[in-house]
Amino acid sequence: MASPATCTDEGTFKTPKTVRVRSCRRSAGTPITIPASPFMKKLGCGTGVNVYLMDRGEKLNASPWAVKKINSKCAAKQVALYQKRLNEEAKILKGINHPNIVGFRAFTTAKDGSKCLAMEYGGEQSLNDLIEKRREDGLKAFPAANIEKVAVHVARGLKYLHNEKKLLHGDMKSCNVVIKGDFETIKICDVGVSLPLDENMRVSDSKAEYIGTEPWMPKEALEEGGEITDKTDIFAYGLTLWEMMTLTMPHLAMLGDDNDEETEEDLMEESFDEDAYYERLGTRPALDTEGLGSSYQRMVELFYLCTEEDPKKRPSAAQIIKVLENNAPLEKTPCEVLDQRRRFPPW
């Protein structure tokens, strides 16, 4: 599937044209136009898709949209798969309405036949972008208050998905959390691989395929025939908080001393132990709790609970919210509030 700006064999773009969307109109009846990809700021990319910022104009006093489109460079045989996922994401997102989940705006077909999923613009950067920038700036863990705020807001979104919509997110990680400003808003995005949950919070459809992303997967998602439940999201949620405390990806800790002449890619290439990596997948990564200090104790405890190997020992999103929201404001909460596991109710 080609994007509105098609690429010639020589790699140069043909003159892009504005794509007029017929299925979505303003109240005055004027058709909405979605600019060709080169005329929008690229926000990011995923497997087979690119996401662009669509500025809808100051005259309209309209908020911007994030527009997800199939990557035109994908192999033809992959386009059908990515298109199916985009269709599913649009269908799921249309039925979701929660302040901590990026909202649906439109699903449209351009003149060239390509599909465009327009979503609420949830933030300037993903949480992963912020983690990478903080690491590059030579800083340490995010302040405990920021981590707790992310913990609360993401848990609210997961509680809504699990309990009200009976959906497993299916790919929880820092890349799928978008942040606006100085943690002003925090929203979950990318529900394209969500799976339906039954009344017992299990994915019971034998044909349903859990996609996920390896470093954030628990044991049950890595083993053939493992039972996938709402607790699968919780394991990945715990690792997302871990990312904010360590500024790295689970199970890919760098080895060796820092060297200004070597890039991160060079270090990873030299030190990466593939066998050790696959052996660690699905386990709880190490965390320097002493180095973090007592102000992080609350989040450390939550991380440990969420990454229990036995899914039954992990809290549900609703239980996490019950504990976190029943405490004083984050900046006034003493570390003793959640001192040790006895402060948590039985899961």
Between 51 and 161, residue with greater pLDDT = 161
Average pLDDT over residues 13-42: 52
Between 1 and 204, residue with greater pLDDT = 204
Quote the pLDDT of residue 262.
47
Domains of the chain: 40-120 (3.30.200.20), 125-254+274-326 (1.10.510.10)
Average pLDDT over residues 26-48: 65
Quote the pLDDT of residue 201.
97
Between 346 and 292, residue with greater pLDDT = 292
| Active-site annotation, residues | 171
**Lowest mean per-residue pLDDT among 224-238, 247-261, 268-282:** 247-261
Quote the pLDDT of residue 245.
98
pTM: 0.78
Residue-wise pLDDT tens digits, 191-230: 988 999 999 999 988 888 899 999 999 999 999 889 999 9
Between 312 and 3, residue with greater pLDDT = 312
Average pLDDT over residues 272-292: 88
Residue-wise pLDDT tens digits, 80-119: 778 888 888 899 999 999 999 999 988 887 656 677 888 8
Distance CA 252, CA 268 (A): 8
Residue-wise pLDDT tens digits, 228-252: 999 999 999 999 999 999 999 998 7
- 312's CB contacts (< 8 A; 6+ apart) are 231, 347
Q: In 310-328, which positions are buried (b, 16+ CB within 10 angstroms) versus exposed (e)?
A: ebeebbbbebbbebbeebe
Q: Would you say residue 155 has pLDDT above 50? A: yes
Query: Within the chain, where are the H helices?
Result: 76-94, 127-136, 144-159, 219-222, 230-246, 264-271, 274-280, 289-292, 297-306, 317-325
Return the percentage of the chain with pLDDT > 70, whole number: 73
